[in-house]
């Protein structure tokens, strides 16, 4: 068969198999026998194996997976996949709702959805076809697990409309399936969530196909301004073929008539006014145990997308949504001892060592007691039996004392001297600090921070190695990392030639880290990634500029920057005038670290051709996916970008299938620009 014929045959078989599946499963009116069907399916499978490049991404065979080993390449998300802010009580939730209503000043409404305890999935569809499925990863970069996700029966390989968009949902497994299968796999997973996450990462998609994974999709049409309300998005998702929650709540000041149709179609969805939210939540708490899968709370979201855009995001979560967690997972244990830790800033933290307990999927054996005030308020002593909880991702804490010890131990008191270097501790706010920056604990803390993940990220130079290097006297502070001779490690236990070579490579590679990473890695007080970003945006794109300005000792130069308060300004000035810190920076400069934004990294110079113009966008585009990238080009060239057409809008970028904005733009006399014209404009310097 020629390739052309194979292609045609594959297309024919795909259509036939799909048609017979439809007749069999949906209409219950099969036209052919099971054997005939199997023959079609097998022929398709064989052809696809022989000609993998001709296989269609939405072929029905994808559901059975493949025996080939999958790789999960890392892919960057087109925009960050953020997490959710959370509250634990109805009171806190009500305050958030109240605050959102007041802050926005509009008559906003809210949806309430299940917060399903599964594994996040980001689904990319192009012209209605599932082309990529990516894990959330760290929110910026995830793993491409497309082949595995294609085996999940309720995730459409092809939508009912040829939309190009990104959708977000959750993959999970029903509790009873988990229990059954987990025992077959020697109970390796602690809970259904881990089981689902683990299954998704199996190497062979044919194995994944055997696991009854399921999905819910709850967000989509990011940046598509033609859909303005979440409730409509949820409804649209069902129409496209996704599985959406059966019991969505919708709450507003008054009942909107325009949603009548939606509620007619979704009989499980309920609506009411704000006053009904509490009842809905209480009802959902009861429904929870009857659901076949685990939910760990509810998600309350602002319904109106233009308001969502206005509220925006923090680095971690959207400001337009809030998770209401049913409970902070708790356990009871006994305090065996209390250690006093000294952090890199000298901050003293009392840490209770407890009898290991299992809380929400992890063994906990260390819990924080924060500071002396906290200890006093709980009245905690060594030997007490305490309730311990994990609130989300933060470090576990002691919540309350359940039973006092019978050994006569009194409320724990922090020492007056640093347990490591003996310096007298000083009080600053609620915390005690060791003021000695040469305190070994502080030195260890700041070096490990500097080399750690999220900072300079020096591979093969973890906390244990840092400890060893200090012990051996090879390094005394951060700059020494770049001046000691790693060969001196040869012969030390655990440091074979290979390991030493890797350490060298890691150190060398870290010199490539950009200025913003270097600066934040120094671990200076108040100067974390967010402040560094603000400083660079405000034009402090080199350390020299920062130091020069700090020398003037005028806090208002820094407080003028939105997001930088007086305390931060003071710390910036103080630290960049500190000879010790300046000396450290000098040494690191000599080592070759980047202390300014390189030319290439600086924003390229664009002529400000869109200065004074106000742009809006509608429809979809060939060259701009997601289409926000087009608006980024406008911003770079001095234009302003808005999400809705108003009288002030001067230009509307019009793509395929434009929305109602097109009409509005014509009414207000905005200039309509096609993708082609836009590309021309961008190329004109």
Residues that are catalytic = 115
Among the listed ranges 76-84, 458-466, 572-580, 668-676, the one in contact with ligand IVH (CB under 6 A) is 76-84
Alpha carbon separation from 377 to 276, 369, 380, 400, 497 (Å, rounded): 36, 11, 8, 9, 53
Residue from 9, 30, 83, 421 touching ligand IVH (CB under 6 A): that is 83
Nearer to ligand IVH, 210 or 283 (CB): 283
Nearer to ligand IVH, 112 or 378 (CB): 112
Please, are residues 474 and 488 in contact by the beta-carbon 8 Å criterion?
yes
Interface with ligand IVH: number of residues (CB under 6 A):
17
Least distance CB 288 / ligand IVH (angstroms): 13
Among the listed ranges 7-15, 80-88, 258-266, 618-626, the one in contact with ligand IVH (CB under 6 A) is 80-88
196 sits near ligand IVH (criterion: CB under 6 A): no
Least distance CB 627 / ligand IVH (angstroms): 19
Residue from 48, 113, 147, 224 touching ligand IVH (CB under 6 A): that is 113
What is the rounded CA–CA span in Å between residue 570 and residue 136? 38
Among the listed ranges 222-230, 249-257, 316-324, 662-670, the one in contact with ligand IVH (CB under 6 A) is 316-324
Residue from 62, 115, 228, 664 touching ligand IVH (CB under 6 A): that is 115
Q: Locate all alpha helices (DSSP H) within 486-642, ordered by sequence.
A: 497-510, 515-521, 529-537, 543-551, 555-559, 566-575, 579-591, 628-636
Least distance CB 270 / ligand IVH (angstroms): 16
- Between helix 463-471 and helix 440-451 the angle, nearest 10°, is 140
Nearer to ligand IVH, 308 or 651 (CB): 308
Which bin fits 37, alpha (ψ -120 to 50), beta or left (φ > 0)? alpha
Least distance CB 62 / ligand IVH (angstroms): 24
Least distance CB 169 / ligand IVH (angstroms): 8
Structure tokens of 668?
């207000």
Of residues 583-622, those binding ligand IVH (CB under 6 A)? none
Least distance CB 318 / ligand IVH (angstroms): 5
Which residues have CB under 8 Å from 327's CB, separation 6+? 88
Among the listed ranges 17-25, 82-90, 428-436, 585-593, the one in contact with ligand IVH (CB under 6 A) is 82-90
Least distance CB 230 / ligand IVH (angstroms): 10
Nearer to ligand IVH, 361 or 473 (CB): 361
Least distance CB 555 / ligand IVH (angstroms): 35
- In this structure, the number of other CB atoms found within 10 A of the CB of residue 125 comes to 24
Please, are residues 374 and 352 in contact by the beta-carbon 8 Å criterion?
no
116 sits near ligand IVH (criterion: CB under 6 A): yes
209 sits near ligand IVH (criterion: CB under 6 A): no
The upper half-sphere exposure of residue 9, i.e. CA atoms within 13 Å in the direction of its Cβ, equals 16
229 sits near ligand IVH (criterion: CB under 6 A): no
Site string for ligand IVH, 278-307 (x = CB under 6 A): ---------------------x--------
For 330, the enclosing helix (H) or strand (E) is: strand 330-342
Residue from 323, 338, 451, 461 touching ligand IVH (CB under 6 A): that is 323
Q: Locate all alpha helices (DSSP H) within 426-542, ordered by sequence.
A: 440-451, 463-471, 497-510, 515-521, 529-537
Which residues have CB under 8 Å from 474's CB, separation 6+? 480, 484, 488, 489
- Output the DSSP codes for 349-369: EEEEEEEEEEETTEEEEEEE-
Nearer to ligand IVH, 165 or 455 (CB): 165
220 sits near ligand IVH (criterion: CB under 6 A): no
Residue from 75, 82, 287, 359 touching ligand IVH (CB under 6 A): that is 82
Residue from 59, 70, 100, 120 touching ligand IVH (CB under 6 A): that is 120
Nearer to ligand IVH, 281 or 299 (CB): 299
Nearer to ligand IVH, 319 or 347 (CB): 319
Structure tokens of 124?
């990319």
Helix H, strand E, coil C: the string for 260-321 is: HHHHHHCCCCEEEEHHHHHHHHHHHHHHHCCCCCCEEEEEEEECEHHHHHHHCECCCCECCE
Among the listed ranges 49-57, 317-325, 557-565, 672-680, the one in contact with ligand IVH (CB under 6 A) is 317-325
Structure tokens of 61?
């065979």
Nearer to ligand IVH, 20 or 325 (CB): 325
Least distance CB 297 / ligand IVH (angstroms): 8
Q: Is the peptide bond before 619 cis (omega within 30 degrees of 0)?
A: no
Nearer to ligand IVH, 192 or 479 (CB): 192
84 sits near ligand IVH (criterion: CB under 6 A): yes
CA 166 to chain centre: 15
What is the rounded CA–CA span in Å between residue 172 and residue 152? 10
Least distance CB 233 / ligand IVH (angstroms): 12
Q: Closest-CB residue for ligand IVH?
A: 120
Nearer to ligand IVH, 170 or 384 (CB): 170
Which residues have CB under 8 Å from 667's CB, separation 6+? none
Least distance CB 76 / ligand IVH (angstroms): 17
Site string for ligand IVH, 148-187 (x = CB under 6 A): --------------------x-x-----------------
If DSSP codes are grouped into helix, strand and coil, which group holds residue 135? strand
- In this structure, the number of other CB atoms found within 10 A of the CB of residue 431 comes to 19
What is the rounded CA–CA span in Å between residue 422 and residue 27? 80
Q: In 3D, which of 439, 415, 594 has the Cα closest to residue 519? A: 594
Please, are residues 321 and 299 in contact by the beta-carbon 8 Å criterion?
yes
Q: In 3D, which of 168, 228, 166, 236 has the Cα closest to residue 626? A: 166
Nearer to ligand IVH, 321 or 369 (CB): 321
Least distance CB 168 / ligand IVH (angstroms): 6
Nearer to ligand IVH, 248 or 398 (CB): 248
Among the listed ranges 92-100, 109-117, 182-190, 251-259, the one in contact with ligand IVH (CB under 6 A) is 109-117
Alpha carbon separation from 75 to 129, 132, 331, 537, 575 (Å, rounded): 19, 10, 38, 27, 38
219 sits near ligand IVH (criterion: CB under 6 A): yes
Q: In 3D, which of 554, 550, 535 has the Cα closest to residue 596? A: 535
Among the listed ranges 110-118, 362-370, 572-580, 660-668, the one in contact with ligand IVH (CB under 6 A) is 110-118
Residue from 171, 321, 588, 630 touching ligand IVH (CB under 6 A): that is 321
Q: In 3D, which of 437, 346, 350, 344 has the Cα closest to residue 397? A: 350
CA 568 to chain centre: 26
Of residues 20-59, those binding ligand IVH (CB under 6 A)? none
Least distance CB 348 / ligand IVH (angstroms): 32
Residues near ligand IVH (CB under 6 A)? 82-84, 113-116, 120, 136, 168, 170, 218-219, 299, 318, 321, 323
């Amino acid at each position: 068969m020629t390739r052309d014929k194979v292609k045609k045959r594959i297309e024919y078989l795909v259509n036939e198999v799909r048609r017979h599946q439809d007749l069999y499963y949906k209409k219950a009116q099969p036209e052919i026998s099971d054997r005939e069907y199997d023959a079609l399916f097998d022929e398709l499978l064989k052809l696809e194996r022989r000609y993998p490049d001709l296989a269609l991404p939405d072929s029905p065979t994808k559901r059975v997976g493949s025996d080939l080993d999958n790789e999960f390449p890392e892919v960057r998300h087109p925009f960050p996949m953020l997490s959710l802010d959370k509250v634990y009580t109805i009171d806190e939730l009500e305050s958030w709702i109240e605050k959102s209503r007041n802050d926005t000043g509009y008559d906003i409404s809210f949806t309430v959805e299940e917060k399903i305890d599964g594994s996040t999935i980001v689904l990319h569809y192009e012209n209605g076809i599932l082309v990529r499925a990516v894990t959330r990863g760290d929110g910026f970069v995830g793993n491409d697990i497309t082949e595995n996700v294609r085996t999940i029966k309720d995730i459409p390989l092809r939508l009912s409309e040829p939309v190009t968009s990104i959708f977000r949902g959750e993959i999970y497994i029903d509790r009873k399936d988990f229990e059954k299968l987990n025992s077959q796999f020697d109970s390796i997973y602690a809970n259904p969530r881990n089981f689902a996450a683990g299954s998704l990462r199996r190497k062979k998609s044919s194995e994944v196909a055997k696991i009854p994974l399921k999905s819910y999709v709850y967000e989509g049409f990011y940046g598509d301004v033609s859909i303005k309300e979440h409730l409509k998005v949820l409804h649209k998702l069902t129409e496209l073929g996704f599985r959406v929650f059966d019991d969505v709540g919708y709450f507003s000041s008054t009942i909107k008539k325009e949603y009548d149709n939606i509620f007619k179609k979704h009989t499980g969805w309920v609506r009411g006014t704000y006053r009904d939210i509490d009842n809905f939540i209480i009802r959902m708490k009861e429904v929870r145990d009857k659901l076949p899968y685990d939910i760990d709370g509810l998600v309350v979201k602002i319904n109106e997308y233009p308001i969502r855009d206005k509220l925006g995001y923090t680095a971690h979560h959207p400001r337009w949504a809030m998770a209401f967690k049913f409970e902070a997972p708790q356990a009871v244990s006994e305090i065996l001892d209390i250690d006093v830790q000294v952090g890199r800033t000298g901050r003293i933290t009392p840490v209770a060592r407890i009898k290991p307990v299992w809380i929400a999927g992890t063994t906990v054996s260390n819990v924080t007691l924060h500071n002396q005030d906290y200890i006093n308020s709980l009245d905690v002593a060594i030997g007490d039996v305490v309730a311990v909880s994990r609130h989300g991702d933060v470090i576990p804490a002691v919540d309350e004392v359940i039973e006092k010890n019978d050994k006569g131990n009194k409320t724990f008191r922090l020492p007056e001297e640093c347990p490591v270097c003996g310096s007298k501790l000083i009080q600053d706010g609620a915390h005690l600090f060791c003021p000695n920056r040469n305190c070994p604990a502080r030195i260890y803390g700041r070096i490990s921070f500097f080399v750690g993940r999220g900072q300079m990220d020096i591979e093969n130079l973890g906390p244990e190695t840092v400890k060893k290097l200090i012990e051996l006297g090879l390094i005394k502070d951060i700059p020494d990392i770049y001046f000691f001779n790693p060969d001196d490690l040869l012969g030390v236990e655990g440091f074979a030639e290979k390991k030493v070579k890797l350490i060298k490579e890691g150190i060398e590679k870290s010199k490539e880290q950009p200025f913003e990473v270097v600066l934040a890695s120094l671990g200076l007080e108040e100067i974390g990634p967010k402040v560094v970003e603000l400083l660079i945006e405000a034009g402090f794109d080199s350390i020299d500029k920062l130091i020069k300005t700090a020398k003037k000792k005028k806090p208002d130069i820094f407080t003028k920057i939105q997001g930088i308060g007086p305390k931060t300004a003071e710390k910036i000035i103080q630290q960049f005038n500190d000879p010790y810190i300046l000396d450290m920076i000098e040494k690191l400069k000599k080592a070759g670290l980047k202390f300014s934004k390189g030319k290439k990294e600086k924003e390229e110079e664009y002529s400000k051709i869109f200065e004074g113009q106000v742009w809006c966008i509608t429809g979809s585009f060939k060259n701009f996916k997601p289409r926000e990238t087009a608006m980024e080009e406008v911003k770079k060239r001095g234009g302003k970008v808005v999400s809705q057409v108003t009288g002030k809008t001067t230009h509307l970028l019009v793509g395929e299938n434009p929305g109602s904005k097109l009409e509005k733009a014509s009414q207000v006399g905005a200039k309509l620009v096609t993708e082609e014209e836009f590309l021309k404009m961008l190329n004109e310097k």
